[in-house]
Structure 1
Amino acid sequence: MVMEFRQLRYFIAVAEEGHITRAAERLDMQQPPLSRQIKAIEDELQVQLFHRRARGVELTDAGHTFLDEARAVLAGLRHAFDATQSRARGELGRITVGFMPSGPFHPFVPLAVRRFRESYPLVSVSIEERFSTEMLDRVRDEQLDVAFVRTSRVDPEHLVITPLLDESMVVAVPAGHELVRRKGEKALSMKQLAGEPFILFGPPGTGMYDATIAACGAAGFSPRIGQHVPGITSCFGLVAAGLGIALLPASMQRTLMEGVVYRNIRGPVIPTTRLSLAARRGDRSIVVRNFLKLVREAAKGFAPA
Structure 2
Amino acid sequence: MYPINFRHLYYFWVASKEGGIARAAERLDMAIQTVSTQVRELEHSLGHTLFRSAGRGIELTEAGTTAVRYAEQIFQLAEALPAAVREAAAEPGVRLNVGIADSLPKLAVRHLLQPAVQTPGLRLLCHESSFDDLLADLARHRLDVVLADRPAPTNPNLRVFSHRLGKASLAWYAPATLLDGREGDFPACLAHLPLLLPTTHSAVRARLDDWLARHGIRPRIVGEFEDSALLATFGESGLGAFAAPEWSFDDLPRARGLTLLGRCPEVVEHFYAILAHRKVEHPVVRKLLLPAEPS
Is the 2:177–2:238 Cα contact (8 Å) retained in structure 1?
no
Aligned: 1:263 with 2:240: no
Where 2:126 maps in the other structure, the secondary structure is strand
1:296 maps to a residue whose letter is L
Q: Is the 8 A contact 1:133 1:205 kept in 2?
A: no
1:235 corresponds to 2:238: no
Distance change >3 Å, CA 284–CA 296, structure 1 → 2: closer
For residue 200 of structure 1, what is the aligned residue in structure 2?
197
How far apart are residue 128 of structure 1 and its match?
2.0
What's the offset of the Cα at 1:170? 1.0
Structure 2: distance between partners of 1:179 and 1:293: 48
Q: Is the 8 A contact 2:151 2:162 kept in 1?
A: no
Distance 1:215 1:180 in 2: 24
Distance 1:285 1:261, change over 3 A: closer
SS at match of 2:266: coil
Amino acid at match of 2:259: V
1:216 to 187, 204, 212: 212
Contact 2:105 2:229 in 1 (8 A): no
Aligned residue runs from structure 1 range 120-269, under 5 A: 121=121, 125-151=124-150, 154-157=153-156, 158=158, 159-178=160-179, 188-189=186-187, 191-194=188-191, 196-201=193-198, 203-217=199-213, 219=215, 223-253=219-249, 254-255=251-252, 256=254, 258=256, 260-266=258-264
Equivalent-residue separation in structure 2 for 1:299 and 1:126 (angstroms): 22
Distance 1:180 1:171 in 2: 18
Name the CA shift for 1:147/1:273 in 2 (closer, same or farther; >3 Å). Answer: same
Secondary structure class of the residue paired with 1:270: strand
- Alpha-carbon shift at residue 110 of structure 1 (Å): 3.1
Aligned AA (1:286): E
Shift of 1:211: 4.5
1:99 is aligned to 2:100: yes
Letter in 1 for 2:281: I
Counterpart Cα distance in 2 of 1:262 and 1:198: 14
Q: What amino acid does structure 2 have at the position aligned with 1:295?
A: L
Q: Could you tell me whether the CA contact under 8 Å between 1:208 and 1:248 is conserved in 2?
A: no
SS in 2 for 1:97: strand
**C-alpha RMSD over aligned residues:** 3.8
Contact kept, 8 Å, 1:133 with 1:151, in 2: the verdict is: no
Q: Residue 161 of structure 2 contacts residue 278 of structure 2 at CA under 8 Å; is this kept in 1?
A: no
CA 1:132–1:192 in structure 2 vs 1: closer, same or farther (change >3 Å)?
farther
Q: What corresponds to 2:116 in structure 1?
A: 113
In 2, Cα distance between equivalents of 1:179 and 1:162 = 44
| Per-residue deviation, residues 185-211 of structure 1 (Å, max 9, x unmatched) | 7xx23x54245432124x532245445
CA offset digits 1:118-146 (Å, max 9, x no partner): 4xx5x754322335454334323433221
Q: Can you list the C-alpha shifts for 1:141-190, whole angstroms capped at 9, x where unaligned?
A: 4332212211366345433221121112111213143488689x7xx23x
- The 1:241/1:126 distance shift into structure 2, 3 A limit, reads closer
**Corresponding residue for residue 70 of structure 1:** none
- Whether the 8 Å contact between 1:149 and 1:276 is mirrored in structure 2 is yes
Q: Kindly state the Cα deviation for residue 215 of structure 1 after the two structures are TM-superposed.
A: 3.5
CA distance in 2: counterparts of 1:284 and 1:114, whole angstroms: 22
Aligned to 2:288: 295
Given that 2:113 and 2:288 are in contact with CA atoms closer than 8 Å, whether structure 1 keeps it comes out as: no
Q: Distance in 1 between matches of 2:190 and 2:116?
A: 36
**Alpha-carbon distance between aligned partners in 1 of 2:244 and 2:236, rounded to the nearest angstrom:** 14
Render the CA deviation track for 1:74-111: whole Å, top value 9, x for unaligned: xxxxxxxxxxxxxxxxx987441123452455553232
Name which one, 1 or 2, has greater alpha-carbon Rg.
Answer: 1
Q: Aligned-pair distance for 1:246? A: 0.9
- What 5-or-longer segments of structure 2 have no aligned partner? 1-91
Q: CA deviation at 1:229?
A: 3.1
Query: 1:264 is aligned with what amino acid?
Result: G
Check the 8 A contact 1:139/1:147 in 2, yes or no: yes
Q: Name which of 281, 284, 287 aligns with 1:286.
A: 281
Work out whether residues 147 and 273 of structure 2, in 8 Å CA contact, stay in contact via their aligned partners in 1. Answer: yes
- Secondary structure (helix, strand or coil) at the match of 2:201 reads coil
How many angstroms apart in 2 are the aligned matches of 1:198 and 1:245? 5
Q: Please give the alpha-carbon distance, in whole angstroms, between the structure 2 residues aligned to 1:130 and 1:265.
A: 29
